[in-house]
């Protein structure tokens, strides 16, 4: 709902009052422009079946954060923002791809931020291509509206001028037939490796519980995948 002009008039307002009014107008625009995208994400969350209490709690948290923060798809949202990541699997060998995050000191799936996008799956695919150089990636299971395989909320620690914040991560499964084409960009992690699911799950201290959950989901989904 648009806001009516209020007293004191703009010329008489303090700097703090003007900044507050501008912030309110900006959030109103986010709310108006992204209402359909937010509704689509909510439907996606409601259709997702959580695997454990942590995932169920994270889904409920994301719903609350979307309602309270219409700029949740933007990196400028101070509390945190939606991100997109992927578990990439070689179709033939059923090995998965992980990279070692030097700052966090653990193995992770590839992924990154939403960049002025509203299609989270498309953002996940873009990030996967950019980080790996793999060009033949395809979603599994394939669908018109690709659902995430896993949903996780985690805290990103403060770094330089970036405050501590939340990543509301939507996680997808992608397949490749050309694992030998792996060519990470020079600006991306260079410690990146194909490994079996068992090898990945054996990295007990070097992967977090939500990634273990994602890997187990991937194993279960791929049981129905026809041989390459």
Would you say 116 and 102 are in contact if contact means Cβ atoms under 8 Å apart? no
Mean pLDDT (whole number) for 93-108: 87
Residue 13's CB is within 10 A of a number of other CB atoms, namely: 15
- Summarised one tens digit per residue, pLDDT across range 146-175 is 999 999 999 988 888 888 999 999 999 999
Helix (H) or strand (E) segment spanning residue 19: helix 15-33
Q: Rounded to 5 degrees, what are φ and ψ at 145?
A: -115, 100
Flag the least confident range among 26-35, 186-195, 217-226. Answer: 186-195
Instruction: Report the C-alpha gap between 104 and 154 in whole angstroms.
Output: 12
- Percentage with pLDDT > 70 across the chain: 96
Confidence of residue 67 (pLDDT cuts 50, 70, 90): very high
Helices assigned H by DSSP within 133-202: 197-201
Mean per-residue pLDDT, 34-47: 96
**Contact assessment for residue 185 and residue 130, using Cβ atoms and an 8 Å cutoff:** yes
pLDDT tens column, 72-92: 999 999 999 999 999 999 999
Cβ atoms of 112 and 132 closer than 8 Å: no
More confident residue, 70 or 141: 70
Above 90 in pLDDT, residue 143? no
Could you tell me where the beta strands, DSSP code E, fall in the chain? 80-90, 96-101, 106-108, 110-113, 138-139, 150-156, 165-176, 192-195
209-213, long-range: CB < 8 A, 24+ apart:
209/54, 210/54, 210/55, 210/150, 210/152, 210/154, 211/107, 211/108, 211/109, 213/51, 213/52, 213/54, 213/55, 213/150, 213/152
Is pLDDT of 187 > 70? no
């Amino acid at each position: 709902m648009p806001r009516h002009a209020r007293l004191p008039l703009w010329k008489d307002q303090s700097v703090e009052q003007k900044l507050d009014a501008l912030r309110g107008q900006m959030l109103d625009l986010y709310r108006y422009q992204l209402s359909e995208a937010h509704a689509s994400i909510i439907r996606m969350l409601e259709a997702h079946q959580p695997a454990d209490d942590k995932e169920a709690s994270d889904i409920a948290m994301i719903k609350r954060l979307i309602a309270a923060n219409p700029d949740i798809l933007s990196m400028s949202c101070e509390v945190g923002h939606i991100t997109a990541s992927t578990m990439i699997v070689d179709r033939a060998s059923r090995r998965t791809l992980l990279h070692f995050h030097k700052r966090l000191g653990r193995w992770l799936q590839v992924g990154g931020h939403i960049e002025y996008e509203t299609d989270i799956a498309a953002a996940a695919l873009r990030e996967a291509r950019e980080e790996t150089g793999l060009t033949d990636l395809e979603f599994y299971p394939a669908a018109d509206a690709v659902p995430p395989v896993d949903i996780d909320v985690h805290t990103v620690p403060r770094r330089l001028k970036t405050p501590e914040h939340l990543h509301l991560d939507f996680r997808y499964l992608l397949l490749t037939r050309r694992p030998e084409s792996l060519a990470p960009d020079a600006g991306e992690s260079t410690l990146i490796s194909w490994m079996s699911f068992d090898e990945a799950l054996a990295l007990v201290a070097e992967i977090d519980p939500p990634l273990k959950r994602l890997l187990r989901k991937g194993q279960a989904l791929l049981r129905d995948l026809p041989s390459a």
